[in-house]
């Protein structure tokens, strides 16, 4: 697996001190500071980069170079800095903000697909800070439809409109059929119980589809176009890797 590339960007004296402390706990990270703030890195002199000129002129290169970008910059300023560079949740890096007192860690961009939510919780644990997670499925401790099973190698297969609509049904606690015909059973990784609106089945044929708003289907079957049409905007399919032999 490719190592996550992480930048910790600071523009104040306090921010530089926090960045250097955090970087000692994240070996894959690089501290990025202005020339003016480089003197405040303390004993942390390795794995740092000093940029020249305005921070706004560096953002495009940061988006290309890093998977997670951690700003010790105000949230409003970060939103303005990154706005011109946004493409899609499938392409953008995770972006996080830490306040100047290191009390809060806020995932701003690509919380799910980009991994910023998980990274925020990791950093908050390091700093003894509070992660501020606003993604509905994480707040509600339910299934993250767009990335379910990603750590198990599952590939999601569905039109984007299906993922959006089914995600809404999941977080709104509509009745959901979860059909698992293949793949690892270790897909539920939260410490809380599976929500009661998620109903488990071992075969698609066992589901009374009129009773369920949406269907999540883990399978290796070929799915006929008629099924996609019948369950338009209600079906998301996951393709697990072949079991090792």
Per-residue pLDDT of the chain (245 residues), as tens digits, is 467 899 999 998 888 889 888 988 998 899 998 877 777 666 655 677 888 889 999 999 999 999 999 999 999 999 999 999 999 888 999 999 999 899 999 999 988 888 899 899 999 999 999 999 888 888 889 999 999 998 899 999 999 999 999 999 999 999 999 999 999 999 998 889 999 999 999 999 999 999 999 999 999 999 999 999 999 999 999 999 986 53
Taking CA 45 as the corner, what is the angle to CA 44 and CA 50, rounded to the nearest 5 degrees?
115
Fold of 150-239: 3.40.1390
Q: What is the pLDDT of residue 37?
A: 76
Fold of 6-134: Rossmann fold (3.40.50)
In which residue ranges of the chain is CATH 3.40.50.11220 found?
6-134
Q: What is the pLDDT of residue 45?
A: 59
- Give CA–CA dist 222/228, Å, rounded: 11
User: Exposed, middle or buried by CB within 10 Å (0-12, 13-18, 19+), for 88?
Assistant: exposed
Supply 173's token pair: 């606690």
Q: What is the pLDDT of residue 44?
A: 58
In which residue ranges of the chain is CATH 3.40.1390 found?
150-239
The strand pairing partners of 51, in sequence order, are 34
């Amino acid at each position: 697996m490719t190592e996550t590339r992480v930048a910790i960007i600071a523009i104040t004296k306090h921010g530089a001190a926090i960045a250097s402390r955090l970087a000692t706990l994240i070996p894959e990270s690089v501290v990025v500071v202005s020339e003016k703030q480089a003197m405040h890195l303390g004993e942390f002199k390795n794995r740092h980069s000093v940029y020249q000129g305005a921070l706004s002129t560096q953002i495009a290169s940061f988006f290309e170079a890093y998977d997670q970008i951690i700003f010790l910059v105000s949230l409003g300023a970060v939103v303005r800095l990154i706005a011109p560079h946004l493409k899609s949740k499938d392409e953008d890096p995770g972006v996080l903000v830490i306040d100047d007192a290191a009390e809060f860690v806020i995932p701003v961009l690509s919380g799910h697909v980009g991994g910023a939510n998980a990274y925020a919780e990791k950093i908050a644990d390091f700093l003894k800070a509070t992660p501020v997670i606003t993604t509905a499925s994480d707040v509600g401790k339910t299934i993250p439809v767009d990335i379910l099973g990603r750590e198990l190698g599952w590939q999601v297969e569905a039109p984007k409109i299906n993922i959006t609509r089914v995600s809404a049904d999941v977080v709104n606690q509509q009745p959901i059929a979860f059909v698992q015909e293949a793949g690892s059973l270790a897909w539920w990784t939260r410490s809380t119980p599976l929500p009661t609106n998620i109903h488990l089945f071992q075969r698609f044929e066992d589901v009374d589809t009129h009773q369920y708003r949406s269907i999540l289907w883990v399978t290796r079957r070929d799915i006929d176009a008629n099924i996609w049409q019948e369950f338009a905007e209600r079906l998301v399919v996951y393709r697990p890797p072949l079991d090792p032999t």
